[in-house]
Amino acid sequence: MKLATLFVVVTTLLCSVLGDPNLQCIEGHVACGGKCVDLDTNSNNCGSCNHPCTGHTFCFNSACVPFEATLAMFPWEDRPSVGSTAAVNPANSSQTADPVPIHMGGFSGLIFEGFHRDGSMKFLTLSDRGPNAAAAELIATNPGDERPFVIPNFNPEFIRFNFNRVTGQFTLTQRIPLKKSDGSLITGLPNIYSNSNNNRAFNDEFPVDLFANRIPFDKLGLDLEGIAVAQDGTYWSCEEYRPSILHFSADGTLINRFIPEGLATSDGTFGIPVLPRVYAQRRLNRGFEGIAVEGEMIYVFIQSPLDNPDSKNDAVSKASKNNRILVFNSTSNEVAAEYVYVLSSNAGVDKIGDAVSLGNGKFLVVERDSAIGPSAFKIVYIIDIAGASNVNGVELLGNLLTI
């Protein structure tokens, strides 16, 4: 979900806090029932321990409120620079261009983390893979499309900021650059192109710079989308290339990357291949889009239906409404379950934008089309998977009803 400007959903409530002093929790969390929770937003412990939100309500600012919201748009004008476009073609020094400064933006997932003592709202977000242009056939000798990267060495990061609802002012409070386990910086570059069938499993686009020079693939490059914070203060994220589930330390160092099984990426240099191979059959730029944490379980939402069976030009995916939710056990590092999520039948809707846990198997899920403006379709659904069938390991799902 790209955020050129920030869309903020605003509601109001009150608060009180109680916790178990015997368990040490990170700032902003208290211990309830042996777990560290945020009483501002936890729907099982809203405002105080053992105070669940029931019915069509969720926890916001330590109170249970109905699912009602207003939408407002606030421009962030003074964003810091993240670099500039190249002034000289690295392959031909006689070819030059005026450098263009690029400012922080293009955010993906967004988490509300409560209120600052001055009343401003606290948010956690993450950058995407960095500024880039639309993919196209730029190099005839390459079998697939090329995607120009404006800043090839762009380093994705986790970003915290506060937003004052009265003044409309944004305050940048933290930037966490993402690093590999050896301390080198992570990039947003694609990982691999493994076969000559464009748009097929284990294929990414070829990265090029703005002068159409080939850039080397980065096996651990990330196209980040969703983010969630674990009880221990570490981060879980998801991305679209492989697609993969990612675990980062509090300082932004990659702990583990979990990827689909499959020979093309099985050598251990791309990540740990423990996810079902079928997830490698995501459409290009339609991998894991949303992530949510409930205790030790990590829930990841694929953006669009998988191309299963794998077909050129993603014909199967484009004709389907049957999306998937993958449940990953963060203690055993194993897949715990899979659920079918059927996209709504609204015209143009072919993807989800993000998801957040409400507790007890309930989630808010954003469905959307690709349109912008008054005719665009973006809607938030409440879903409950408590009674859903676990289809993990099922070979043939048969014909599923649409809604």
Residue 357 domain-assigned? yes
Same domain assignment for residues 117 and 206: yes
Residue 316 domain-assigned? yes
One-letter amino acid at 87 equals A
Residue 96 domain-assigned? no
**Measured distance between the N- and C-terminal CA atoms of the chain, rounded to whole angstroms:** 23
Cα-only R_g, the chain: 21
Same domain assignment for residues 191 and 246: yes
Q: Please, are residues 205 and 145 in contact by the beta-carbon 8 Å criterion?
A: yes
Distances from the Cα of 55 to the Cα of 39, 43, 45, 52, 304, angstroms:
18, 11, 15, 10, 29
> How far is residue 329's CA from residue 332's CA, in Å, rounded to a whole number?
6
- Tracing tokens 């939402």 back to the chain, one arrives at 301
Over the stretch 127-160, which tens digit does the pLDDT of each residue have?
999 999 999 999 988 888 899 999 999 999 999 9
Residue 42 structural domain: 1-75
Find all residues with CB under 8 Å of 75, minimum gap 6, and list them. 5
Final residue of a domain: which of 41, 75, 109?
Answer: 75
Query: With a threshold of 0.95, does the pTM exceed it?
Result: no
Same domain assignment for residues 251 and 189: yes
Same domain assignment for residues 60 and 144: no
Residue 391 domain-assigned? no
How many domains in the chain?
A: 2
Burial environment of residue 182 by CB neighbours within 10 A (0 to 12, 13 to 18, 19 or more): exposed
Residue 389 domain-assigned? no
Same domain assignment for residues 186 and 244: yes
Final residue of a domain: which of 11, 40, 75?
Answer: 75
* CA dihedral sign of residues 279, 126, 58, 71: negative
Output the tens digit of pLDDT for each of the chain's 403 residues: 443 333 333 222 222 334 455 678 888 889 998 888 889 888 889 999 999 998 878 888 899 988 776 778 899 999 999 999 999 999 999 999 999 999 999 999 999 999 998 999 999 999 999 999 999 999 988 888 899 999 999 999 999 999 999 999 999 999 999 999 999 999 999 999 988 776 789 999 999 999 999 999 999 999 999 999 999 999 999 999 999 999 999 999 999 999 999 999 999 999 999 999 999 999 999 999 999 999 999 999 999 999 999 988 899 999 999 999 999 999 999 999 999 999 998 889 999 999 999 888 999 999 999 998 888 899 999 999 999 999 998 865 544 433 3
Q: Identify the bridge partners of residue 214 per DSSP, sorted by sequence position.
A: 208
Residue 394 domain-assigned? no
Over the stretch 167-187, which tens digit does the pLDDT of each residue have?
999 999 999 999 999 999 999
Same domain assignment for residues 139 and 233: yes
Same domain assignment for residues 123 and 220: yes
Same domain assignment for residues 36 and 120: no
Residue 176 domain-assigned? yes
Which helix (H) or strand (E) segment holds residue 115: the answer is strand 107-115
Same domain assignment for residues 25 and 146: no
At residue 391, φ and ψ (nearest 5 deg) are: -100, 10
Task: Check residue 70 and give left, alpha or beta (phi > 0: left; psi -120 to 50: alpha).
Answer: beta
Same domain assignment for residues 43 and 108: no
Distances from the Cα of 146 to the Cα of 20, 130, 175, 200, 284, angstroms:
54, 15, 30, 15, 12
Dig out the tokens for 264 from the structure.
């093309």
Identify the DSSP state of 315. H
> How far is residue 365's CA from residue 354's CA, in Å, rounded to a whole number?
6
Residue 390 domain-assigned? no
> How far is residue 275's CA from residue 254's CA, in Å, rounded to a whole number?
18
Burial environment of residue 103 by CB neighbours within 10 A (0 to 12, 13 to 18, 19 or more): middle
Final residue of a domain: which of 23, 57, 75?
Answer: 75
Find the CATH number of the domain harbouring 309.
Answer: 2.115.10
Same domain assignment for residues 269 and 371: yes
Same domain assignment for residues 364 and 255: yes
Q: What pLDDT is stored for residue 196 in this prediction?
A: 75
